[in-house]
Amino acid sequence: MLQFILRRVAISAVVLLMGSALMYFATINSGDPLADLRESRRENRDQLMQARIDNMNLDLPWWQRYLTWLGGASKCLVLSCDLGTTRDGANINTMLLSSAGASLRLVSISVVLAIFIGVALGVLTAIRQYSGFDYAITFLAFLFFSLPVFWAAVLLKEFGAIRFNNWMADPALTTTAIAVVALVFALLVASVLGGDLKRQVLTFVVTTVVVFGTVWYFDSIGWWRQPALGLPLILLGSLLALAFFLVVTVGLAERKILYAGLTTIALGLVGYVVTAPIMDDPSSWWIVLGLGLLSVLVGLAVGWFLGGFEKKVAMFVCAGTALAFAGLVFTDELLRNWGGFLEIAARPISTIGDTRVPNERFDGNFWEDIYNWAVQLVLPTIVLTVVSIAGYSRYTRASMLETINQDYIRTARSKGLSDRVVYTKHALRNALIPITTIVAFDFASLLGGAVITETIFGWKGLGAMFRAGLNTVDPGPVMAYYLVAGGAAVLMNMIADIAYAFLDPRIRR
C-alpha cells in the first residue's frame, strides 16, 4: 500500500509540474500586462511601465520567469513558500492565505452538507425504488444538476436576500402560505415513510395538521424575529435523535441501550440548567467546543456503564444522542440572539461580501458575531450544495441498487437478518466505495469551480484572486490558485486511495 501511494505521489507531482508550465505559458500569453499603461496619458507613463517590467521581470524569457516561480513554489515542500508579488507589489503569500481561508470555509461546508444529504437521499431512493419518493427525488436531482450556476445564484440573491430582507421588516405569513408549507412538508414525510395507501394518507393528514398548527402558532407569536427552540423542542429533538441511532444500530427493542440513551438525555437536562449562564455569552469558541466534547464524553461513559453486553453500540448511541442534545442547545442559543442581530443589521443578508458588517465596526456578543459571518455563507453554500447533492444522490442510488442485488446480500437475508442490518452493515459500506472517488474529485472541482459563485456573491476567495490575475495578465495570483486547486486534487485522490483500503480490506493486497 505504501509503495502504491508513493508511486501515485510521484506521478501526481509530474502531472502538477507539467500542468503548471502549461498554465504559466497560457496566462502570460493571454494578453498584454502593460495594456492599461500604454493607453494612459500620464506624464510618468514610461517610468511606470519600466517599474512594472522590472517588478514582473518582463524583460526575461518566459521559461526563466517560470523557473523563478517554480523555485519559490518548491519551497512549499518545506513550509516556506515564496510565491512572489503581484504586478502592483502585493505579497501573494498573504493574499493566498486570506483567499484560501474564505474559499475553504465555503467549499468545506457545502461538500459536507452535500455528502450527508446526497448519500442519505441516494440510499432512501434505492430502498424505495420506483416509489413516488424515488420519482420525485430523481426529477429534482436532474433538475438541480442541469441548473446553470450563475442563474441559480442570481435567483437566490433576489429571493434569498433582497425579498427576504424586505419580508423580515414585518414578517408574517398568510393562511394560504402556511397551508402550502404544511402540504409540501406532509407530502415529503408521507413519501419518505412509505407504506400502503391507507398509511400514507394517514401520515399525510396528521403531518399537515401538525405542521399547519405549528407554523400558525409561530407566526402568531412573532417567532420569525424572536425565534427560540425552548426546552420542549430540545427534548423532542433529542428523543428523535435517540430513536434514529437505535433504529440504525440495534432497534428500539434493546431495553438497556434505550435506558442508557434516556439517562443521557436526563443528564443533558441537568447540564442545560448548569451551563445556562455560560452559554448566554461564551467568551470564545473553545468554551463551546469544550462543552460539546464534555457532552460526548458523558455519553460515552453512560454507554459504557449501562450498555451491558453491547457496550460499544451503547457508547455510540449515547454519544450520538449527547451530541444531538448539545447541538440543539447550541441552536436554541443561536436563535435567541437573532433579534439582537437584526437590531445591528436591519437588512441581515447582503448580496455581496463574506461578512454583513466589517469586523472592525461590529459590536455584538458571541452569538451575534456568528450571524455576522454565517448569514453570508447561506446563499453561496446553497448554490454549491444543491448542484453537488444531485450527483451524490444519483451515484449513491446506482451503487446501492447494484450492491443490494449481489449474492451475499441475498444470503444475508436468507439467514433471517432484518432489512436494517442488511442495508446498514452489509450493503451501505460496499456501496460507498465508488462514492469516495466522487467525493475526492468533487472537493477539488468545487474548490476550482467556485469562481462563478464567488464572483456573483462578491466573495473574496480563490475565485476572485484567479479572476483578478487573469484580467491583469498577472501569472502570480493565477499560479497560486493552480497550486491550491491542483494540490487539493492530488491530496483528495490520496485520501480516496486510503479510504478504499479502509472500506474494502481486499484492496490492501
Closest CA to 433 of 503, 345, 381, 379: 503
Q: Is 183 exposed, middle or buried, given 0-12, 13-18 or 19+ CB atoms closer than 10 A? A: middle
pLDDT at site 258: 92
Q: Give the C-alpha distances (Å, rounded to integers) separating 92 from 21, 100, 140, 260, 486.
A: 19, 12, 42, 54, 17
Q: What is the pLDDT of residues 59-111, one digit of tens each?
A: 888 889 999 999 988 888 887 888 888 888 888 888 888 888 878 888 888 88
Q: With contact defined as beta carbons under 8 Å apart, do 468 and 1 qualify?
A: no
Residue 387 in domain: no
Mean pLDDT for each consecutive 10-residue tract of the chain (509 residues)? Answer: 73 86 90 82 81 85 90 84 84 86 81 88 87 84 84 87 89 92 89 78 92 93 91 93 86 85 95 92 89 95 89 92 96 92 83 61 79 84 86 89 86 80 79 77 68 81 85 90 83 73 62
pLDDT at site 449: 57
C-alpha cell at position 97? 492565505
C-alpha cell at position 301? 461513559
Closest CA to 322 of 347, 348, 340, 300: 300
120-135: burial string, b at 16+ Cβ within 10 Å, e else: ebbbbbbbbeeeebbe
Residue 195 in domain: yes
Q: What is the gyration radius of the CA atoms in the chain, in angstroms? A: 27
Residue 216 in domain: yes
- Structural domain harbouring 201: 172-221
Residue 182 in domain: yes
Residue 393 in domain: no
Residue 183 in domain: yes
pLDDT at site 299: 95
C-alpha cell at position 425? 452493515
Question: Rounded to whole angstroms, how far apart are CA atoms 436 and 261?
Answer: 32
pLDDT at site 454: 80
pLDDT at site 239: 94
Number of domains in the chain: 1
Residue 201 in domain: yes
Q: Give the C-alpha distances (Å, rounded to integers) separating 239 from 234, 251, 255.
A: 9, 14, 15
**CA triplet 188, 189, 192: central angle to 5 degrees?**
85
Question: Rounded to whole angstroms, how far apart are CA atoms 10 and 21?
Answer: 17
> Backbone phi, then psi, for 354, in 5-degree steps?
-105, 5
The region that residue 445 occupies, defined by phi over 0 for left and psi between -120 and 50 for alpha, beta otherwise, is alpha
The length of the chain is 509
Q: Is 104 exposed, middle or buried, given 0-12, 13-18 or 19+ CB atoms closer than 10 A? A: middle
Closest CA to 234 of 334, 94, 313: 334
pTM given for the model: 0.79
Q: What is the pLDDT of residues 18-49, one digit of tens each?
A: 989 999 999 998 888 888 888 777 778 888 88
Q: With contact defined as beta carbons under 8 Å apart, do 128 and 193 qualify?
A: no
Other beta carbons less than 10 A from residue 393's beta carbon: 27
Residue 493 in domain: no
> Backbone phi, then psi, for 20, in 5-degree steps?
-65, -40
pLDDT at site 448: 61
Question: Rounded to whole angstroms, how far apart are CA atoms 146 and 461?
Answer: 25
